[in-house]
Amino acid sequence: MKEKSENKIQGNSNKIFDGYIGKIIEFFVVFIVNLSFFITINFFRDKIPFITEDITRWLFFADLSIFISILSGLLLIFLRGDIYRMPLYIIQDIASLFSTAALYIIYPFNFKDPVWIDWLRNLNETNRLDERFLSVNIDFWVKFSLICVMLAICIGIIVKAIKFAIALIKSVSK
């Protein structure tokens, strides 16, 4: 009997330790991706041919979303249980939604820029893309994709809010 309880305790501590290491690895991956995105949009935006100067109007929303993602990722390392984690996920998703909506409204892209068109033509010469690809209205598809992303984020917020409500009800009923 004593041996069984010691194994149970030891098994739980290994499980907690493994989960903790996993959360640290997850945080560092999220941190590196967010930092890379932050550096790209803040310092190398002039090197991207289809980005316009309007990107500076969107940077506040993007930087805020990145900061919230990094900060909540750090907090998520230490928090256990949906009752604590779901509100942070919801806050992350709301920040992402605002950032994506601002990107859609500001729309700092110019796919009709000659540099971008030349890049597509060069790509076509090397990869032999169908000519119809070059004539597709890229602006339409980018805006359509942003709308789809916003809808997906909204669905994620609803799902996480339901999970949070369930966790809250379970914690109160205990």
Q: What is the pLDDT of residues 40-61, one digit of tens each?
A: 999 988 888 788 899 999 999 9
What's the number of domains the chain is made of? Answer: 1
For the cut 60, the answer to whether the pLDDT of residue 62 exceeds it is yes
Q: What is the model's pLDDT at position 103?
A: 97
Range from 8-12, 27-31, 95-99, 124-128 that averages highest in pLDDT:
95-99
Is pTM beyond 0.95? Reply is no
* Residue-range definition of the domain harbouring residue 21: 2-173
Other Cβ atoms less than 10 A from the Cβ of 12: the count is: 10
User: Do 34 and 74 form a contact (C-beta atoms < 8 A)?
Assistant: no
Residue linked to tokens 């994709």: 145
DSSP string, 38-86: HHHHHHSGGGSTTB-TTHHHHHHHHHHHHHHHHHHHHHHHH--SHHHHH
* 68-113 residue pLDDT tens: 999 998 888 888 777 888 999 999 999 999 999 999 999 998 877 6
